[in-house]
Structure 1
Amino acid sequence: LELVRSIATSEPTLQETREFGERLGKRIIVAQDRGGFIVNLLLIPFLTSAVRLYESGFATREDIDEGMRLGCGHPMGPLHLLDYIGLDTALFVCEALYAEYANADYAPPPLLRRMVAAGWLGQKSGRGFYEYPANGRR
């Protein structure tokens, strides 16, 4: 559970919230109140790099995903993860982070923009980097 500490969050409030999360069985991390927090600031460059590799023809989508599963122990590869998140959601996050930080790592890849414009949103639309039957699983 990622807790976000704003400039107005008191130490007792943060501690009480942390303890509540722990009682729910959650592991807690704390981030400052800035766009993306911890997870998205690390995740988005990883995901956009995978899209750029695929877009450039460097590797197939299957090899990119399998490489991260086997090489890094990830439960799913980055392109499959994008389909799971939703390509429109990922594009929205990329645009927001790029607007806030002006860092090229957060710039949406052109392929991601084209896929969203075409209505390829991932599992929820039945097509993204992979195709999904009616039950949403490939």
Structure 2
Amino acid sequence: MTTPATTPPPPRVLATPAALVLVDELKAQHGPALMFHQSGGCCDNSAANCLLPGEITMGPGDVLLGEIGGCPFYISRSLYQTWAHTQLIVDVIEGQGGSFSLEGGTGKAFHTRSRVFSAEEFAALGALG
């Protein structure tokens, strides 16, 4: 008897091709060790910030959602609890990037969109704990 194939859970965070190009540009300029953090706070912290390791102190309230462009992507626990039912999609828009984020001054800014997981996707994510 065979067991039914299970669909792997979807990633909690992913990046558009435009975001991946910008990540590669920032890696070329700043080195390969970059990270993302989205806290949901005021000012620039309401957007995904691209940072060098050590530029932000990670705390027990930060959740590793996954990676984009080979870079870890963290989110504050309070924001994670609000958005747990959604997949975050990091994109790029034209305009002034955040002053805390490495793309600031490039004329581009990371922008987070989201979509609600289907019931099946959310169940698969729940099975992971």
TM-score (norm 1): 0.24
| Structure with the higher strand share, 1 or 2 | 2
Structure possessing the higher radius of gyration over alpha carbons: 1
TM-score (norm 2): 0.25
Higher relative contact order (CA 8 A, sep 6+): 2
| Structure with the higher helix share, 1 or 2 | 1
